[in-house]
Amino acid sequence: MSYSREAWSQLKNLKCDDIIGALEKDGWRQDRQRGSARAYYHSSGRRVSIYYHPKKTYGRKLLKEVLDDIGWTEADLRRLKLIR
């Protein structure tokens, strides 16, 4: 996925808790946790691993990989109120 420059400027400040909260709003459920890695699954069969570190932000590369694995578009990010 590619996001606009405006979206990236808002996404770079997202904390791990924000992403997990949005995942749960979008119908994802936590499957298991091993250390700091949490596995989430969606009813459509998609799976994603999130590295949970409270109150931390992700680096640009890891954030892009997580969002690509989740498969959210900019419209989804707006719907979930992660960006304006």
**What CATH number should be reported for the domain holding residue 44?**
3.30.920.30
Pick the closest to residue 56 from 3, 4, 20, 80 (CA basis): 20
Residue 28 lies in a domain: yes
Whether residue 36 lies inside any domain: the answer is: yes
Contacts of 52 (CB under 8 A, 6+ apart): 16, 20, 33, 36, 37, 38
Flag whether the pTM goes above 0.75. Answer: yes
At 69-78, the pLDDT tens digits run 999 999 999 9
Q: What domain count does the chain have?
A: 1
Domain for residue 84, yes or no? no
Residue 55 within a domain: yes
Q: What is the pLDDT of residue 19?
A: 93
Say what the pLDDT of residue 2 is: 83
**Tens digit of each residue's pLDDT (9 = 90 or more) over 4-53:** 999 999 998 899 999 999 999 999 999 999 999 999 999 999 999 999 98
How far apart are the C-alpha atoms of 81 and 5, rounded to whole Å? 17
33 is a domain residue: yes
The domain in which residue 50 lies consists of: 5-79
Identify whether 20 is part of a domain.
yes
* Residue 30 within a domain: yes
